[in-house]
Amino acid sequence: MNFIKIYIFCPTDVVSGGVNSLQILCNALVSNKIDAKIFYIKPLEEFINHPVIRSFNAPYTTEIEDSFQNLLIVPEAYIPVLHQYGSIRKMIYWLGIYFYIKKPPHRFPFSIKIVRKIFAGYSFFGNPVGGFHAFTQKVNLWSKKKDPVWSSGIIHMTNSFYAADFLKYMGINDAIVLHNPVRDTFYLQKTKPGKEKKILFGPGTPNKLIRQIRKSFPDYECIRLRHMHPEDVHRLYTESMLFIELGDFAGRNRMPREAVLSGCVVITSRMGSANYYSDLPLPDYYKLDTGTKCLPELLKKIQSVTTDYPIHYSKMQNYIDCLINEKNNFETEVANVFKNKQGKN
């Protein structure tokens, strides 16, 4: 049985990378002549009319027809929504794993909010073992109980092999991996020939490291990309030499992809999906083991990049090519995923 309609559940609190991914997926489905629409949690006019959301021009609806012939897709942060529908078939789109670990259906004492909050922090800070914190793995398995997340009727799709490995550890062996592109804007631009003395930092990079880098490179403007308008972020990418994200990668973080396509050399941690070459195909030189001892190595690499920017940016080419190939093949990959799933019903 084919899906007659596909609904994609989309939050409206912030124009995040996850929101971008949901819009891009919807448009790829529509391009494949599949009746797909965004369903906004709160269809606020100021959100729907945001320039970034308008640029996608994805169709949306205010109603979901709860029929077995239809499919509902929810990101992992909104898994409880699945409880609200009885007949419609269901897919979880794992854009990361943080939100599930932060608020899963855990057994006592991990059902207590403050314990969950502490647990979520320890799940990500530090260098994970085998892609995840070992303690996290044990507690998740211990806490696992009957829930729609692990129902055999749920389809699981992820945007990273990191999340797919997490699901495999939790007993889901058939998760679909679908690497999604970023906004079209970033593939259409040309890198500016002259770069300014600016170093950009992703929101997960510790403040302590940023302060130390500012002291070591006083001639450079160090800017943390947080709570900024998307167009301002885009402009800063094109002006800057270097983008650094030393936080955790709960999925395929959007900013490093946008930055490298805009002309930035990218340096990341090895945490989460960044430790997977299949998710983040940067040369090993540009990935760091973070911690108190990483600063001398990081400063050395920043000095090298700022001194020989053209040489270092040329080494980003394989990463860029991978991102362009993902973009060019995305609609075909979406067609393959959803037509295969429909054929199995």
Domain count along the chain: 2
Give a yes or no: residue 20 inside a domain: yes
Residues 189, 170 share a domain: no
Q: What percent of the chain has pLDDT over 70?
A: 82
pLDDT in tens, 86-133: 999 999 999 988 777 666 555 555 555 666 555 554 444 334 444 445
CA distances from 205 to 202, 243, 317, 324 (A): 6, 11, 24, 26
Which residue matches tokens 């990463």?
319
Arithmetic mean of pLDDT, 322-343: 87
Residues 172, 252 share a domain: no
Give a yes or no: residue 338 inside a domain: no
Residues 203, 89 share a domain: no
Give a yes or no: residue 263 inside a domain: yes
Give a yes or no: residue 334 inside a domain: no
Residues 124, 100 share a domain: yes
Instruction: State the average pLDDT for the chain.
Output: 85
Strand partners of residue 245: 268
Contacts of 103 (CB under 8 A, 6+ apart): 116, 120
Q: Are 71 and 40 in contact (CB under 8 A)?
A: no
Structure token pair of residue 135? 């303690």
Q: Are 52 and 20 in contact (CB under 8 A)?
A: yes
Q: Are 258 and 182 in contact (CB under 8 A)?
A: yes
CATH code, domain with 169: 3.40.50
Q: Are 167 and 158 in contact (CB under 8 A)?
A: yes
Residues 207, 64 share a domain: no
Residues 293, 238 share a domain: yes
**Residues 291, 313: Cα–Cα separation, whole Å:** 26
Q: What is the pLDDT of residue 292?
A: 66
Q: Is the pLDDT of residue 231 over 80?
A: yes
pLDDT in tens, 251-299: 899 999 999 999 999 999 998 899 999 999 999 999 998 876 889 999 9
Q: What is the pTM of this model?
A: 0.87
**Residues 104, 79: Cα–Cα separation, whole Å:** 9
**pLDDT grade, residue 341 (50/70/90)?**
low
Task: Assign 115 to helix, strand or coil.
Answer: helix
> Which residue range is the domain that position 131 belongs to?
6-180
Residues 283, 229 share a domain: yes
Better-scored residue on pLDDT, 82 or 318:
318
Residues 95, 33 share a domain: yes
Residues 150, 40 share a domain: yes
Residues 161, 79 share a domain: yes
Strand partners of residue 267: 244
Structure token pair of residue 82? 């699945």
Residues 148, 111 share a domain: yes
Arithmetic mean of pLDDT, 42-63: 86
CATH code, domain with 221: 3.40.50.2000
| Chosen domain end from 137, 153, 180 | 180
Q: How many CB atoms lie within 10 A of CB 2?
A: 12
